[in-house]
Amino acid sequence: MSVDLVEVVRSGFRECVHRGSVVVLDADGVVLDEFGEVHTPIYPRSTNKPMQAVALLRAGFAPADDAELAIASASHHGEPRHVAQVRRLLDRHGLREELLRCPAELPSDERARAEVLMSGARPRRVHHNCSGKHAAMLATCRHNDWPLDGYVDSGHPLQRAVTDTLIDLSGEPETELGIDGCGTPIVPISLVNLARTFAKLVTSEPGSPERRVGDAVRAEPYLVSGTDGEDLLLQAAVPGLFCKAGAEGVHAGALPDGRAFALKIDDGQGRARLPLAAACLQRLGVEQTDGLADLAAAPVLGGGARVGTIRAVPGLFHGA
């Protein structure tokens, strides 16, 4: 059963509470705290992207640098640098934007979206937050001479390779797949196995596919998210952190020694992820910098002034 995890306090009054599940692990993968359904598989959504990138590397994807591997793992905001990286990846493999099977969208970043609209341009597939992953999937198909058409289908050789890798990394039994928002198959994973998998991506041997993804995401956090993105803010506040947010209130992260967390907010509210992720890091003993403290207590505004906070329920982590 899920529990109260994050509260919204306005003028001293608890106005709202977000329920869900969360698990925190020590460097040996032992559970320090668990609340809710941490052993029941969920759809991690875009939190699966780093593991999908590992699968592409195992299948022969050869990124030119960390930037290409980061954009392959990204839920980017469609800002100019993001779009340029996606197009660079496509161009380097002789691929056209029209081959991408993610939906056409406007950038999620407000400034980038306004610039696109003012230019008279229409929604484009390269603006979709998953376009980097799709471009890398197409590049992997090109490397293996796999069909470019139908690369998002669960029976395609690419998606079979991705599914096999995620099952191998997570230790989850093979199960029925879902379909993610961008159209690719999604492998269900429990929160405890999601956290342990994230730990693998920072503690594996340097140069291994797992470690290459973990290192690239940490080297290029802006490409993985964007201006004011949750992952960018968290990694700026906690050097060495590897993390990735996912839709419907999912987030996971790992510190260089393998300490890790994973969480799922039942109502899918994104506003609850960042304060809870910051609280998880505090529970793991991360140094209490001003930056991390600010993320753990997001402001609630009234008339433009701060009148409250969004925070993890006080006393949630008794060992903190």
Please check whether the domain covering 3-312 is classified as CATH 3.40.710. Answer: yes
Residue owning tokens 């991506």: 201
Mean pLDDT split into 10-residue runs, the chain, 320 residues: 94 97 97 97 98 98 97 98 98 97 97 95 96 98 98 98 98 93 97 98 98 98 97 97 98 98 96 97 92 94 96 83
pTM comes to 0.96
DSSP-assigned letters across all residues of 147-211? -STTTTSTTSHHHHHHHHHHHHHH-PPP---EE-TTSSEE--B-HHHHHHHHHHHHHSPTTSHHH
Q: What is the pLDDT of residues 220-262, one digit of tens each?
A: 999 999 999 999 999 999 999 999 999 999 999 999 999 999 9
Q: Yes or no: say if 66 and 219 are a contact pair by the CB < 8 Å rule.
A: yes
Coil/strand/helix, residue 319: coil
Please give the pLDDT value at position 320: 45
Please give the pLDDT value at position 3: 95
Q: Yes or no: say if 45 and 248 are a contact pair by the CB < 8 Å rule.
A: yes
Please give the pLDDT value at position 288: 85
Cα of 16 vs its chain's centroid, Å: 25
Q: How far apart are CA 217 and CA 253, in angstroms?
A: 11
Tell me the domain boundaries of the chain: 3-312
Please give the pLDDT value at position 175: 87
Please give the pLDDT value at position 146: 98
Q: What is the pLDDT of residues 8-19, one digit of tens each?
A: 999 999 999 999
Q: Yes or no: say if 198 and 48 are a contact pair by the CB < 8 Å rule.
A: no
Q: How far apart are CA 85 and CA 98, in angstroms?
A: 16
